[in-house]
Amino acid sequence: MLHRDYRFLVDCGEGTQRQILRSGLGFKRLNRVLLTHGHLDHILGLGGLVSTFARWETIDRLEIYGGRWALQRVYDLIYGVVLRGARPAIEIDFVEVKPGVVLEDSEFEVVAFPVAHRGPSLGYLFREKPRRPFLSEKAEAIGVPQGPERRRLVDGESISLSDGRIVTPDDVLGPPERRAVLAHIGDAGEIAGLADVVRGADLLVIEATYVERDEHLAKQFGHLTAARAAELAYEAEVHQLALTHISRRYRESDTLEEAQAIMPNTVVARDLDHFRVLRKHVERES
């Protein structure tokens, strides 16, 4: 996931670094890993990734975010298996995540929330903070000149006009408007309580391991069917749904047909797909 100067990797299963290389994105600035949970298919790739970073010196610091249990397993993997007592060539920070804001700046934030899946698990919201639009017509009517004065008003400062009048941001800015939101949920055993968290997201990425005819397996192993994932997206009024973690026992068309019957704007995400997330608009490139 990329946003301006930020770059995040959500989970790191086997083969992740190979797929990163195939994608053409490379490893530059890939210094933050967000873990949804500590099951091996979501963390095993970190061993190879850390080893690669240490050899190639692509970055000098790696931040790994996750719940306590997930971080403990990753720590054992890196220091007990990969390094085996050796000193890491890069700085590795383990950041324990609890529900709430994980990191933010003036325009963007990452928020973690709890997810039920055979033990502690997390989902993440990547969202641009609301922005008050600049009302050009009102600014023209007041006599605000083009140039840095308008930038100062957008930044929340008042300005003085050449005739001595004071113009405040409230004079030329509209009410806050919601901006782009990406919701990412890894594995999940149930959808209860998630609709309010992901409500109105422009893109929801979530697992759909099974289809309804195997609902008993979904319950047994703590996963979702395509129908349950679609119900969540529909109830939460999500703009687009992208399904992942599909079992190989199904054809993609089986999963897609089941979900689209409930949530028409659904796709099955494939390796190396690119999604550009805008407010109420998602562009997909395969």
Q: What is the CA radius of gyration of the chain?
A: 22
Report CA-CA distances (Å) from 207 to 16, 79, 232, 244. Answer: 17, 30, 12, 5
Q: Residue 134 and residue 154: Cα distance in Å, rounded?
A: 7
Q: Which residues pair with 125 in a beta bridge?
A: 111, 183
User: At 207, phi and psi to the nearest 5?
Assistant: -75, 155
Task: Pick the catalytic residue from 41, 76, 93, 271.
Answer: 41
Instruction: Tell me whether residue 163 is one of the annotated catalytic residues.
Output: no
Alpha helix stretches (DSSP H) within the chain: 16-23, 40-43, 45-56, 68-75, 136-142, 148-154, 169-172, 195-198, 215-221, 226-235, 252-260
Q: For residue 35, which of 8, 68, 52, 10 has the smallest C-alpha distance?
A: 10
Active-site amino acid positions: 41
